[in-house]
């Protein structure tokens, strides 16, 4: 028993080293470039804490409010919670393999397969609700494995707590819940339906989610309207295309495909753990036919990797020594080489040179991290160029949440006023009273500005010193100075609401 405990501690140490290495790489590189537009929205919402926000539940802005209090406007500091979340996801994947009967090889393989996959790597580079949602899917799978292995119904409380926290992070955890409930009905795990602990888990999840549910009721389920709009936009723009392809090249390392496919087949064949197969298949079908985006299912793969690695370990143990070493070397070499390429694309590894050019050319999310400081500085210069009487009553009206967050988070260094934004939760906060008589307008077309506001003139351009083509530099290049809206402010505001 003592030998087994020592062996288990050594295996855990290996997993901790892998997770810590992933975290260290993120910490050492996350200061390059700048904030992503999605991060800027979260930071803006973090300054206006509530029990709900239009695009997402309240947990992520709450965590970033803590980050702001601890680290200020620091890229590395504010992204630290995401780094921790991804490190934990890697660690828990290895522990799932252990619970499924895997030894050190299986645990290490599963952890490395997740650590070197595109989506988990990306989630550690930014703070977004998807980052924490990924971790909750992994934790729920781990707790389900513990439930089925021990047959101790008390694990439903842990599952319920995690589902509740997941609902306070991203509503799509309901797709995983659908998989769990379907699996209960379709497998021998249905015996838990009569357990008091099962219903207690449901009650705990609902209790945790209740504040956001009340907020949604009070706001007419505005997030549902937002999600319907975004889903229609994604389909119209083709963002939902290539769902199956993305399971192989975004959610997972391509060379790890044999692992998760084997894991799925093993779950289907295993009477004890078959529930976990339905936890993957039901969300897969719902996303596929509902036209979800490819990365939505990413959190379901670590449990498949864990089972696949466990089965793979048992298989290679049956091979002759030379064949075993050959298979292991080939697999790990392919996984590592592909992983290095993924790192070069996904991670902000360099602040300059060919590696940065390569990343910016191949990674649209990194391109969206460029230019925000220049934008704020340009707006500040336009403000300073105004006549004194205009500067006394000037507002900055923005067209999207990235510009909104940039002005609100980075603007105080230039003494800029709070942005006026009609996008998502910012619209609910309203416009300043008294309303400004002069507006610096950005993120909107010349045609819209001249039709909507009085006496508009072109005052500047939005770009970046790297000459990177991103949404701001391509779609919103012009900045205007205008008078107030042509219609009364209340009427203008009613029409200015936007989902994005």
Tens-place pLDDT, residues 30-86: 999 999 999 999 999 999 999 999 999 999 999 999 999 999 999 999 999 999 999
**Residues 87 and 233 grouped into a single domain:** yes
| Averaged pLDDT for residues 290-318 | 97
- Tell me whether residue 357 is in a domain: no
Distance of alpha carbon 217 from its chain centroid, rounded?
25
Tokens 């549902």 sit at which residue? 224
- Tell me whether residue 155 is in a domain: yes
Kindly report the backbone phi and psi dihedral angles of residue 458, in degrees, each rounded to the nearest multiple of 5, phi listed first: -70, 125
Beta bridge partners of 423: 498
Distance of alpha carbon 114 from its chain centroid, rounded?
16
Indicate the SS3 state at residue 498: strand
Confidence of residue 1 (pLDDT cuts 50, 70, 90): low
Kindly report the backbone phi and psi dihedral angles of residue 270, in degrees, each rounded to the nearest multiple of 5, phi listed first: -95, 115
Question: Considering 346, 361, 386, which residue would you say is the last residue of a domain?
Answer: 346
Alpha-carbon gap, residue 32 to 36, rounded angstroms: 11
400-458 pLDDT per residue, tens: 999 999 999 999 999 999 999 999 999 999 999 999 999 999 999 999 999 999 999 99
Spatial contact of 209 and 164, defined as CB atoms under 8 Å apart: yes
Domains in the chain, number = 2
**Residues 480 and 420 grouped into a single domain:** yes
**Residues 339 and 384 grouped into a single domain:** no
Question: Considering 311, 329, 346, which residue would you say is the last residue of a domain?
Answer: 346
**Residues 77 and 15 grouped into a single domain:** yes
Indicate the SS3 state at residue 439: strand
- Tell me whether residue 366 is in a domain: no
* pLDDT for 7: 67
**Residues 140 and 268 grouped into a single domain:** yes
| Averaged pLDDT for residues 226-250 | 95
| Averaged pLDDT for residues 122-141 | 97
Confidence of residue 380 (pLDDT cuts 50, 70, 90): very high
Those residues whose C-beta lies under 8 Å from the C-beta of residue 384, and which sit 6 or more positions away, are 391
**Residues 251 and 384 grouped into a single domain:** no
- Tell me whether residue 260 is in a domain: yes
322-370 pLDDT per residue, tens: 999 999 999 999 999 999 999 999 999 998 899 999 999 999 999 999 9
69-83 pLDDT per residue, tens: 999 999 999 999 999
Tokens 């650590």 sit at which residue? 115
* pLDDT for 351: 85
pLDDT at residue 276 is higher than 80: yes
Those residues whose C-beta lies under 8 Å from the C-beta of residue 258, and which sit 6 or more positions away, are 308, 312
Alpha-carbon gap, residue 453 to 270, rounded angstroms: 66
Confidence of residue 5 (pLDDT cuts 50, 70, 90): low
**Residues 123 and 232 grouped into a single domain:** yes
- Could you tell me the two tokens for 320? 């002759």
pLDDT at residue 28 is higher than 80: yes
- Tell me whether residue 363 is in a domain: no
**Residues 254 and 312 grouped into a single domain:** yes
| Averaged pLDDT for residues 143-166 | 98
- Tell me whether residue 365 is in a domain: no
- Tell me whether residue 31 is in a domain: yes
Confidence of residue 465 (pLDDT cuts 50, 70, 90): confident
* pLDDT for 463: 85
Beta bridge partners of 485: 453
Indicate the SS3 state at residue 136: helix
pLDDT at residue 4 is higher than 90: no
**Residues 338 and 232 grouped into a single domain:** yes
Alpha-carbon gap, residue 471 to 92, rounded angstroms: 37
**Residues 88 and 183 grouped into a single domain:** yes
Those residues whose C-beta lies under 8 Å from the C-beta of residue 9, and which sit 6 or more positions away, are none
Peptide bond into 434 cis (omega under 30): yes
Question: Which segment of 317-321, 433-437, 454-458, 462-466 scores lowest on mean pLDDT?
Answer: 462-466
**Residues 90 and 196 grouped into a single domain:** yes
Indicate the SS3 state at residue 241: coil
**Residues 309 and 400 grouped into a single domain:** no
* pLDDT for 332: 98
Kindly report the backbone phi and psi dihedral angles of residue 73, in degrees, each rounded to the nearest multiple of 5, phi listed first: -85, 75
Those residues whose C-beta lies under 8 Å from the C-beta of residue 120, and which sit 6 or more positions away, are 86, 89, 90, 114, 134, 298
Per the structure, the complete domain to which residue 470 belongs is given by 372-495
Question: Which segment of 25-34, 181-190, 437-446, 457-466 scores lowest on mean pLDDT?
Answer: 457-466
Q: Compute the half-sphere exposure of residue 358: CA atoms within 13 Å on the CB side of its CA.
A: 13
Residue 497: its H or E element: none
- Tell me whether residue 98 is in a domain: yes
pLDDT at residue 274 is higher than 60: yes
pLDDT at residue 203 is higher than 80: yes
Nearest 10 degrees: CA dihedral of 364, 425, 85, 137? -100
| Average of per-residue pLDDT values in the chain | 96
């Amino acid at each position: 028993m003592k030998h087994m405990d020592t062996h288990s501690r050594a295996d855990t140490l290996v997993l901790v080293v892998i997770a810590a290495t992933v975290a260290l790489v993120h910490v050492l590189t996350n200061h390059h470039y700048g904030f992503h537009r999605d991060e800027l929205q979260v930071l803006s919402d973090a300054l206006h804490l509530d029990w709900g926000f239009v695009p997402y539940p309240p947990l992520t802005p709450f965590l970033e409010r803590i980050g702001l209090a601890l680290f200020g406007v620091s890229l590395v500091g504010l992204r630290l919670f995401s780094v921790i979340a991804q490190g934990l996801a890697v660690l828990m994947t290895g522990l799932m393999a252990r619970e499924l009967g895997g030894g050190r090889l299986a645990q290490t393989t599963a952890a490395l397969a997740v650590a070197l996959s595109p989506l988990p790597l990306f989630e550690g580079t930014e703070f977004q609700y998807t980052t924490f949602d990924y971790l909750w899917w992994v934790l729920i799978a781990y707790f389900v494995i513990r439930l089925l292995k021990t047959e101790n119904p008390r694990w439903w409380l842990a599952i319920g707590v995690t589902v509740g926290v997941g609902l306070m992070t991203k509503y799509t955890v309901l797709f995983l819940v659908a998989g769990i409930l379907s699996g209960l009905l379709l497998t021998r795990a249905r015996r838990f339906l009569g357990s008091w602990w099962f219903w207690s888990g449901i009650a705990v999840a609902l209790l945790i989610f209740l504040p956001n549910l009340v907020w949604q009721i009070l706001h007419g389920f505005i997030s549902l309207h937002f999600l319907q709009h975004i889903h229609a936009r994604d389909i119209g723009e083709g963002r939902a295309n290539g769902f199956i392809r993305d399971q192989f090249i975004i959610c997972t390392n391509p060379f790890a495909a044999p692992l998760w496919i084997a894991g799925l087949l093993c779950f289907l064949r295993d009477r004890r753990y078959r529930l976990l197969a339905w936890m993957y298949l039901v969300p897969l079908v719902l996303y596929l036919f509902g036209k979800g985006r490819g990365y939505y299912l990413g959190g379901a793969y670590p449990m498949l990797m864990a089972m696949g690695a466990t089965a793979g370990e048992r298989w290679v143990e049956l091979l002759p020594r030379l064949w075993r070493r050959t298979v292991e070397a080939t697999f790990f070499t392919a996984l590592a080489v592909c992983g290095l390429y993924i790192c070069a694309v996904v991670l902000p590894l360099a602040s300059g040179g060919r590696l940065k050019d390569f990343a910016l050319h191949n990674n649209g999310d990194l391109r969206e991290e460029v230019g925000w400081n220049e934008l704020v500085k340009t707006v500040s210069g336009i403000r300073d160029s105004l006549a004194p009487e205009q500067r006394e009553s000037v507002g900055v009206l923005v067209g999207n949440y990235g510009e909104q967050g940039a002005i609100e988070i980075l603007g105080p260094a230039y003494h800029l006023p709070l942005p006026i934004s009609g996008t998502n939760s910012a619209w609910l906060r309203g416009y300043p009273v008294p309303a400004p008589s002069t507006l610096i307008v950005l993120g909107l077309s010349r045609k819209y500005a001249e039709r909507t506001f009085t006496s508009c003139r072109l005052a500047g351009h939005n770009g970046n010193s790297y000459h990177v083509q991103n949404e701001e530099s391509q779609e919103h290049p012009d900045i205007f100075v205008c008078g107030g809206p042509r219609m009364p402010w209340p009427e203008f505001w009613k029409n200015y609401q936007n989902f994005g």
